[in-house]
């Protein structure tokens, strides 16, 4: 009897508890915006975690702490530079998008590589 009363009380309190604040929406890419402006806006978003920088690789990577959105920013020396790419989980599938500001053919190669990683599995 006491247990049922406590359960009812907890359910009532839970119903009155404020909903947690919705996470801020992460920016989508806007290929009409200049590369540097979009790069700065992208990297400044709350909740983004930069991957450790490998100075042998001309890319910067950022992932959101919720694990559903990641960004790739090319650095000088990258074959597709300047370019921005984003991978986002949408309806349970990873969707890759991007903005080529430089060599389109090299961007297409980078896009194919990054998009192909979503199906890569360790053996």
Give tens-digit pLDDT for 33-75. 999 999 999 989 999 999 998 888 899 999 999 899 999 999 9
pTM for the predicted model, two decimal places:
0.75
**Sequence-separated (6 or more) residues with CB below 8 Å from residue 111:** 85, 96, 98
Name the H helices within the chain.
2-16, 35-43, 104-117
Write the pLDDT tens digit of every residue in 15-30. 454 554 555 678 999 9
In contact, 106 and 79? CB cutoff 8 Å: yes
**Sequence-separated (6 or more) residues with CB below 8 Å from residue 80:** 74, 100, 102, 103, 106, 107, 109, 110
CB atoms within 10 A of CB 116: 10
């Amino acid at each position: 009897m006491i247990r049922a009363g406590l359960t009812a009380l907890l359910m009532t309190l839970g119903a009155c508890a404020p909903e947690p604040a919705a996470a801020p929406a992460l920016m989508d890419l806007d290929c009409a915006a200049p590369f540097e402006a979009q790069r700065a806006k992208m990297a400044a978003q709350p909740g983004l975690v930069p991957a450790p920088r490998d100075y042998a690789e001309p890319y910067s990577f950022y992932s959101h702490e919720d694990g559903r959105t990641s960004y790739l920013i090319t650095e000088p020396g990258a074959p597709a530079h300047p370019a921005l790419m984003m991978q986002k989980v949408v309806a349970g599938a990873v969707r890759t998008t991007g903005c080529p500001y430089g060599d389109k053919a090299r961007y297409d190669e980078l896009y194919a590589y990054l998009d192909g990683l979503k199906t890569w599995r360790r053996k």
